[in-house]
Structure 1
Amino acid sequence: MATPSPSPIESLFLDMIESLKQCDVIRVAGERKGAISDIAENSSAGFSQLTEACGINIDPSLTDKHVRYLDLGIHWYATDASTRGGGEFFLHELIDALASAPPDTSSTQSDAESKLFQQLRVIDYHPEGGTISFAAVRLLSNTIAPRVWAHHFPYGTFELDLDYSAYLDALLLTKGFHGWHFLYADIRLTDPKYAPLVALIRAGLDLLKVALPDPRHEELEVRLAERLD
């Protein structure tokens, strides 16, 4: 059977990954592009099957944001060893993510956080970078809640000012540089405990501005400044 042609959203991610691979100041540490399952190939039919099998409803508008590869992502960092900048993302195909078990609670730090984990389904994970971190949608009454959540040990689990569609758009902009999720959270980064994280965000953003400049990076600078105010 022939491999389906990439959809528009998939093409954006494939192009972004290729741009990272072709950049002279970036080295790729890992890359994945999983197969497209029979269930995921037709987004609308796949969403319907998920409803029938698991009772989980997906907004039909997300067919345009459905990245059908089982896993798709890249782990990258600066070629200059003196630069700390880097990033990682690996998207988990949405139907499979919603049908999967909640994330492991071993990195949770409270009963409330463990309870929250039972409602989360991982959509973006970071298996190669050495940190316990992921992003997830939250299931409430068998539907996807409006906001995506992110977990980053030891800083905890926090709600992002992004729905699933906006999460993918932000990921395309940030290329998954380490710490980018905190730019979309209601968190002040002035506490000394965040100092290592702020350094990672600063390094990743600086590297990205050199490697793949985009006028929209100014939006990220504004977000960082707001959280350091």
Structure 2
Amino acid sequence: MKDVEGMQISSPNYSEERLLEAFVALRECPEISVSMDEVSVLSEAEGDEGVSASYIAAEMLEDAARVPALARVGSGLRIAEEAPRFRKIASRWRGFAAHGELTGEFSVPNFCRTIFEPAPPLTWEGSSEEERRLFAEFRKIDSNPRSGTGLFSVVRLEQAANPLGIWVWDARAGALQMDVDYLGYLEALSLTKGTHGWQYLFTDVSLENPDFYHVANGMKRMLQVFPQYFPQHGYEDLERRLEERL
């Protein structure tokens, strides 16, 4: 794994490699300006003597078994065995091209820690009981804290679900389920570099809706310039998803 700020994980797993590759690629792309980025590794995972992701997951599963709400989730939490050992990895960036401005941000916390955090406060006096139950099972896995978009992604800690569902929250559309699991989410994030609105490509939302005009334009720009900026990746699946939603 490429060393960043002197931090290193020995024998990185796939998700760690992909996320750090995206992090470094944004820094090194001359057409993109990164206004903020941050990466830190769990102390117990650093260096040649660092513990494995499966070891960290095993400790988390022991702790989760003592929390009734998490104990009911069961085997779905085992996805943590392949989760990144970053404490946090985040970047906010802006790109300029002849096609127009392109912006993005991601802020990914450690999965084994975020599941013990409270659910984001999404309920209001008009929320139905079904919505209250749903929102109580959400834990934030990615967000745009500096961009202020109000959009963030969550894992749903649903009883006996395997894999656990991934949802995106936007005040305009509410909670929308994505057709990826947690590791698939990280894979798509590493490919899109957190371009604002990329999550909609994995929902059943129509981007022809006027409310998503800027999202649709952003996705078009991303798929125009990313093959030039980051030619080592393939974008056919994202192109297909965009076409299906226009």
Greater shift in the superposed pair: 63-72 or 149-158: 63-72
Residues 3 and 24 (structure 1 numbering): CA distance in 2 closer, same or farther, change over 3 Å?
Answer: closer
- In 2 relative to 1, CA 85–3 (structure 1 residues): closer, same or farther, beyond 3 Å? closer
Task: Write out per-residue CA displacement over residues 106-134 of structure 1, whole angstroms, 9 at most, x where no aligned residue.
Answer: 79984454542211001111111121111
Partner of 1:226: 244
Q: Kindly tell me the number of residue pairs found equivalent between the two proteins.
A: 227
Give runs of aligned pairs for residues 192-203 of structure 1, distance below 5 A: 192-203=210-221
Q: Tell whether 2:33 aligns with 1:15.
A: no
Partners of 1:152 and 1:37 lie apart in 2 by 33
3-state DSSP of counterpart to 1:34: strand
Q: Deviations over 1:63-110 (max 9, x none)?
A: 453112221121111145983212111111111111000012279984
Aligned 1:1-229 pairs, distance under 5 A? 4-5=9-10, 7-8=12-13, 9-38=15-44, 41=51, 42-55=55-68, 56=70, 57-59=74-76, 62-79=79-96, 83-105=100-122, 110-111=127-128, 113-141=131-159, 146-214=164-232, 216-228=234-246
Task: Show structure 2 runs of 5+ residues with no match.
Answer: 1-6
Scaled by the length of structure 1, what TM-score is found? 0.85
SS at match of 2:226: helix
Q: Give, in whole Å, the separation in 2 of the partners of 1:172 and 1:94.
A: 16
When the two chains are superposed, the root-mean-square deviation of aligned CA atoms in Å is 2.9
Distance in structure 2 (CA, Å) of the matches to 1:67 and 1:13: 9
Amino acid at match of 2:150: I
The code of the aligned residue for 1:175 comes to: K
Equivalent residue letter for 1:205 = L
Q: Percent identity?
A: 26
